[in-house]
Every structure is written in structure tokens, then in C-alpha cells.
Amino acid sequence: MAFERRGRAWVENEDSGSTPSLSPEKQEARARNVLLYQLGRSAKSKDQCRKILAKRGIDSDIAERILDRFEEAQIIDDVMFARVFTNSRIKAKGLAKSAIARELREKGISQPLIDDALVELDSASEEARATELAINRVRRMSGLEKEVIQRRLSGFLARKGYSGSIVQTATRAALAEAVKSEV
């Protein structure tokens, strides 16, 4: 028993085979509509768009043609996507360079584009971000023991993708700041 989506409801599909094939013109129109809808919701990489079109049953040659047109019109731009994504992850989540690079790879961005997007991030700015995150987090842990705070801060920063040396430096700075604020 197979189900397919029609409008907002899931309906049982009588033939459990593939969906009826559309003409190439209709597939192109559907591909354009799907991409415009998806890109209207949020920015996407070319690889993400390719996967969406494949999931919707669009032939790969038609999908590539449409993706190339969207890229020529700069509706899809992996360079700009990588830069915007990097900035949003730094500001909103405080992620480290390695975590951002991993997420960009998952979204299908090529390594040279990732390197270009992350070129502005150096270890000093990464350490400053980690320290700021740690200081903000330690303020919420006022009633805990020093060892517990240190362990939780280390885990918090490690999950953000910061290296061990940066985690140690930021944790020490945050604990020193907490001692200053208590006095």
C-alpha cells in the first residue's frame, strides 16, 4: 500500500509503481516552481536544490538545465550562500570554523568555496568568540561548583566545534571573570 501527497492530505495510491511521467515541458515548469518555492523559503546550495528536484521526480538532465539557468541568473549562488551561511552560524550559534565547514560540506558546497567563506576567520577571533560564549554561559551557572562549571563549559564549547586549546583558554577566562564578578 503506497501513499502519495495530494495537496495537504496523504491519499492512497492505487498503482504502487512510479508516478506517471510528465512531459519535459511540464517537468521544466514543475522544476522551476519547486525551486522558486524552496528558494523563497530559505537560501539553498545548488546541491540541495538538485536533491530536492530528484526527490520530486524531475529527470536529472532537466534538473541540471534548470539549475544552470538559475545559476546564470544568480538565483542560486553557492559563493554567496557559503558567505551568508557562515556569517549567520557565527552570529546566531557562535559555531567554530570546523563546525561551519562541516555543515557547509553537508550542504554540498565544494572545499574551495568553503575555504573562501572561512578565510576571514582566524584563531584570534575564534578564541574571542569562544571566550565571549563562555562568559555568557558561566553567568547562568552561578550556584554550581567550579569543577562542574568547568566541565559544562568545556562540553558546551566542544559541541560548538572549538578546539581543545581554545576551550581551555576560554574556560579559564570565563572562570576568572566569574570570580571577578563575585568580588
What pLDDT is attached to residue 17? 45
Domain ranges of the chain: 78-118, 125-182
What pLDDT is attached to residue 122? 86
What fold, for 125-182?
Arc Repressor Mutant, subunit A (1.10.10)
Residue 18 or residue 50, greater confidence = 50
> pLDDT digit string (tens) for 128-149?
999 999 999 998 888 888 899 9
What pLDDT is attached to residue 21? 75
What pLDDT is attached to residue 5? 65
Provide the angle, in degrees to the nearest 10, between the axes of the packed helices 146-159 and 164-182. 140
Confidence band of 87 (pLDDT split at 50, 70, 90): very high
Question: pLDDT at residue 81 above 90?
Answer: yes
Residues 6+ apart with CB under 8 A from 94: 129, 130, 132, 133, 160
Gap between the Cα atoms of 97 and 100, Å rounded: 5
Question: pLDDT at residue 19 above 60?
Answer: no
Gap between the Cα atoms of 76 and 100, Å rounded: 20
